[in-house]
Amino acid sequence: MDLGQWDWIIGIARGGLIPAAIIARELNVHLVDTVCVSSYTVRSQDKISVLKDINTRPVQPGNYLIIDDLVDTGKTAQVVRQMLPDAHFATVYAKPEGRPYVDTFITEVSQDTWILFPWDAEYHYDYVKPIIETSQE
């Protein structure tokens, strides 16, 4: 909040969608969009592909906040920055190689750190009925 007032939030899909939704709610920003960029496969980090550009810009210019969960090598951040060069770029985590490409981050981690986000993990805090019990209801 101390950094300014944001008119538009752009979440980088997929990792930035949940943080972007949380920030949009907390800052009462209703104009939220996505940019879809793919760089990771199951086995490695590959070439960057823009799957969905930011193609619906507001009628009047405003203050844009780009949000992602993590900046790793900075390759995705570089591509998105070209789309909105004056936007403020914020991530939850930043690794050393990607750190120069973001304006704000919460925590810096080493380049070899693997981060498991809550939305990528499975947690069971309550009793879960066996499938056989639920199929008989």
Question: Cβ neighbours of residue 26 under 8 Å, at least 6 residues apart?
Answer: none
pLDDT at residue 42 in the model: 47
72 in catalytic set: yes
Predicted confidence (pLDDT) per residue in 68-101, tens digit: 999 999 999 999 999 888 899 999 999 999 999 9
Domains of the chain: 8-135 (3.40.50.2020)
86 in catalytic set: no
Strands 45-52 and 32-40: antiparallel
Catalytic residue among 72, 103, 112, 120: 72
33 in catalytic set: no
User: Any idea what DSSP says for residue 94?
Assistant: E
Total-model pTM:
0.79
